Structure 1
Amino acid sequence: MGKRILFLVGPEFEDIELYYPLYRLQEEGYETIVAGPSRDTLPGKRGYSVKPDLAFEEVDPGEYAGLVLPGGRGPERIRNNEHVKRIVRGFFEDERPVAAICHGPQVLISAGVLHGRRATSYPGIKDDVINAGAVWLDQPVVVDGNLVTARIPPDMPMWMREYIRLLRA
């Protein structure tokens, strides 16, 4: 497990919500691994792309210290993938740090791990988060146990600061 962080990404991910935490975690000495529906290159919403290191089916969640779920359209496109749900549940069962921003909580909703939690997200999915049994808070970052959520790109410095704090604990 050590210092490996897993990113789950789908087509039309929000470019900056993948690359900002990816590079920020690399600066802290973490090895970042990107998983997607396949190993084929995925387009971001704003012109960047990423070539996943692994397909979802290849991921053993026990090999990673933490999980990051970028937003954009990607979460909507991967949320019902059985491997994605298995991976996410593995992190919550072991209470390892999970970071989700913007539409990233859609993946948490489909995995059934938000009930009873406090979280934030892009305001457009507020009702979905509440309907999943979470308390939605309109603030830049919410930390609830192993979960760190944020709303939008300007929240990312606070989001990553809290996430890195959890990883170091």
Structure 2
Amino acid sequence: MTKPVAIILANDFEDIELTSPKEAIEEAGYKTVIIGHEAGEEVVGKHGTKAKVGVGIGSAEPSEYSALFIPGGFSPDHLRGDVDGRYGTFAKAFMKDNKPVFAICHGPQVLIDTDDLKGRTLTAVLNVRKDLSNAGAHVKDESVVVDGNLVTSRTPDDLNDFNHAIVELLNKDYK
């Protein structure tokens, strides 16, 4: 059985940037697990979508997941505000182990905390591209950028390309 895809999430996520890729991942045959501050907690998107945290970050083990998905909105900023840096540490394990990492819009912000962006190529929403560049990444203005195990995208307008790239990578390496 394939391990589930971890989704790290906090309040104020961009609703469609969670629901559309999550649906594509699940339609491709993968289970998803939302990881947040506390198991059982309900997080709410910018437009009212509710999601239940299945696993608290304090007990989340990267080895139990096949891939990591980071939706955008303001959620990544909240995740980066974790005083113990647990979300950056969690994401770093996926980067280190060369597991697939999918991030859209503001999602790549979390990857800055991995210290693993130097020389990587990615994209994001305009207002975080400079931060990514300062972290050593090569940043492009494209709907989706695939750099090995890392798939990034800009905005909800790019979801079709992003979802396609996610499923393609999962089916290529993890079925």
- Tell me the TM-score normalised to structure 1 length: 0.96
Matched, 1:33 2:17: no
What letter matches 1:139 in structure 2? E
Local SS of the residue matching 1:111: coil
Q: For residues 5-34 of structure 1, what are the alpha-carbon distances to aligned partners after superposition, in whole Å with 9 as ceiling and x for unaligned? A: 010001101111111111111111100100
The CA deviation at 1:3 is: 4.0
Local SS of the residue matching 2:69: strand
Cα distance in 1 between the residues matched to 2:101 and 2:163: 11
Picking from 147, 150, 153, the partner of 1:150 is: 153
- Tell me the TM-score normalised to structure 2 length: 0.93
Cα distance in 2 between the residues matched to 1:3 and 1:59: 13
Aligned to 2:24: 24
What letter matches 2:107 in structure 1? G
Cα distance in 1 between the residues matched to 2:90 and 2:113: 12
Aligned residues: 169
Aligned to 1:115: 118
What letter matches 2:13 in structure 1? F
1:80–1:110 CA contact under 8 A, matched in 2: no
Cα distance in 2 between the residues matched to 1:145 and 1:80: 28
Local SS of the residue matching 2:113: helix
Aligned to 2:92: 89
Cα distance in 1 between the residues matched to 2:2 and 2:90: 17
Q: Which runs of 5+ in 1 are unaligned?
A: none
The CA deviation at 1:80 is: 4.2
What letter matches 1:25 in structure 2? I
Identity of aligned residues (%): 38
Cα distance in 1 between the residues matched to 2:147 and 2:51: 30
Equivalences for residues 56-135 of structure 1 within 5 A: 56-81=57-82, 82-135=85-138
Cα distance in 2 between the residues matched to 1:92 and 1:119: 14
Cα distance in 1 between the residues matched to 2:163 and 2:142: 15
Moved more, 43-52 or 138-147: 43-52
State the superposition RMSD in angstroms: 1.2
What letter matches 2:137 in structure 1? A
Aligned to 1:51: 52
Distance 1:3 1:160, change over 3 A: farther
Local SS of the residue matching 2:151: strand
2:142–2:154 CA contact under 8 A, matched in 1: yes
Cα distance in 1 between the residues matched to 2:125 and 2:57: 25
